[in-house]
Amino acid sequence: MIINYFLLSNNHIIVVYIYIIMKMTTIAYILISIIIINYLVSIIMKFLGVEVQFYGSYLLWFIAVILFWGFLPEAPNYFE
């Protein structure tokens, strides 16, 4: 993949590297947000006395929605 980018001009190489860095920061933001949400929900539910078996499946679904939102591509806008 990288070898093909060297055939392009310098401006295109910079754009590709910026795109890769932006994707890496997006992945980092997603992982950090999942860790924080999991930690906060578990603390709140422990304070309220709710066991993991009652809210764990909902928490997993919410984490799956966050992962889908972060990693799936955006819908193309054909009218631009």
pLDDT digits (tens, 9 = 90+) for 16-44: 565 666 677 888 888 999 999 999 999 99
User: What is the domain extent for residue 26?
Assistant: 2-71
- Tens digit of pLDDT for each residue in 45-55? 999 999 999 99
Q: Which two tokens stand for residue 73?
A: 């591509």
**Is residue 55, in this structure, part of any structural domain at all?**
yes
**Is residue 18, in this structure, part of any structural domain at all?**
yes
Instruction: Return the CA Rg of the chain.
Output: 19
**Is residue 47, in this structure, part of any structural domain at all?**
yes
**Is residue 76, in this structure, part of any structural domain at all?**
no
pLDDT at 11 over 60: no
Q: How many domains does the chain have?
A: 1
**Is residue 38, in this structure, part of any structural domain at all?**
yes
For residue 19, the model assigns a pLDDT of 63
Q: 68-72 long-range contacts, Cβ below 8 Å, gap at least 24?
A: 70/26, 70/27, 70/29, 70/30, 71/30
How does residue 15 score in pLDDT terms, banded at 50, 70 and 90?
Answer: low
The CA distance from 48 to 50, in Å, is 6
